[in-house]
Amino acid sequence: AAGAKIIDGKALAESIRAKLRDEVTDLSENNGGFIPHLAIIQVGDREDSSLYVRQKQQAALKIGMKFTHHKLEATVSQAELLSVVHALNDDYRVHGILVQLPLPDGMDEKLVTEAIDYHKDVDGFHSLNIGLLAKRDHEPLFEPCTPKGCIELLRHAGVDLNGKKAVVVGRSNIVGMPLAHLLQGENATVTVCHSRTQNLEDIVRTADILVTAIGRPQMVKGSWLKPGVVIIDVGTNPIPDSTKKSGIRWVGDVDFESASQIASAITPVPGGVGPMTVTMLMYNTVLSAKRSLKGYRRPTQ
């Protein structure tokens, strides 16, 4: 077989970032030095969180945005954390606020997530934004970054979703659930699978479009697939690899080798969804900054 077309997330992310950089330059030139500003709050210093914050910082700076990193001790009280959130909510110069999860044990992640002004909720995780995402004929202020990245990849690959059967494996609040709504918004017929799903293989085989956000290395095999399926593999899982200095390498939830023989198109891991997630965060922050210039406030509540 000729094998699947590779959907290149890295290249698409780079081209979107280049456009955002131009946009930020224009915004600044036309508005007396105005700069979109992303603020990230990190509590404690988990290594993985620090890495993710650094990736976002690098992307923001490269695009020409302002980035502030609010690093709090792991021992900070929830009230202190909330007061930092509130100060950023009230600072009109800040356009996007993100609290890096997970928070230390004992902190209420829900409360902190909902405390962010939903006008600055560039992660798109606030329940009001999720509700607006779920409702037909409504629009959230921001679409969650990873799901939005998946839709951009499908669009870029020229995939027609209208009336097609999409299967999403995974129902998390940050990937599976919001993605199902975005796919449905494109008029796909969506099935959401999860760990309790019976006959997963048979359901996956009905998919014209398959999205995996499971966290199980190479679980989905080529033999599970309908020929010609388009695959977006969100999974990013470490597996041991003694040929690497780090001792690991990253693989998706899909067994790329067998799947790419059956699919018509597939995202690689790494280099597929990953680079799009950070890019969509930048996109949302620029969007928020542009709205702030127009004095935009959604009159809700």
Q: Which residues are catalytic?
A: 56, 100, 123
Residue 32 to residue 197: CA distance in whole angstroms = 55
Helix (H) or strand (E) holding 69: strand 66-72
**In this complex, which beta carbon is closest to ligand NDP, that of residue 83 or of residue 195?**
195
List of residues contacting a second copy (CB under 8 A): 110-111, 114-115, 118, 126-138, 162-165, 171-173, 177, 181, 184, 187, 189-194, 196-199, 203, 206, 299-301
Q: How many other C-beta atoms are found inside a 10 Å radius of the C-beta of residue 154?
A: 24
Q: Least distance (Å) from ligand NDP to the CB of residue 297? A: 29
**In this complex, which beta carbon is closest to ligand NDP, that of residue 36 or of residue 170?**
170
**In this complex, which beta carbon is closest to ligand NDP, that of residue 196 or of residue 294?**
196
**In this complex, which beta carbon is closest to ligand NDP, that of residue 196 or of residue 245?**
196
Q: Least distance (Å) from ligand NDP to the CB of residue 195? A: 3
- Could you tell which of a second copy, ligand NDP, none binds residue 170, using a CB distance below 5 to 8 A set by kind? ligand NDP
In contact, 82 and 102? CB cutoff 8 Å = no
Residue 169 to residue 96: CA distance in whole angstroms = 30
Q: Phi then psi for 289, rounded to 5 degrees?
A: -65, -40
Compute CA distances 56 → 40, 176, 225, 237, whole Å.
9, 22, 35, 20
Q: Least distance (Å) from a second copy to the CB of residue 249? A: 30
Three state DSSP letters for 175-218:
CHHHHHHHHHHCCCEEEEECCCCCCHHHHHCCCCEEEECCCCCC
Q: Least distance (Å) from ligand NDP to the CB of residue 193? A: 6
List of residues contacting ligand NDP (CB under 6 A): 146, 169-172, 174-176, 193-197, 200, 213-216, 234-237, 273-274, 277
Q: How many helices (H) and strands (E) are present in the chain, helices listed first?
A: 10, 11
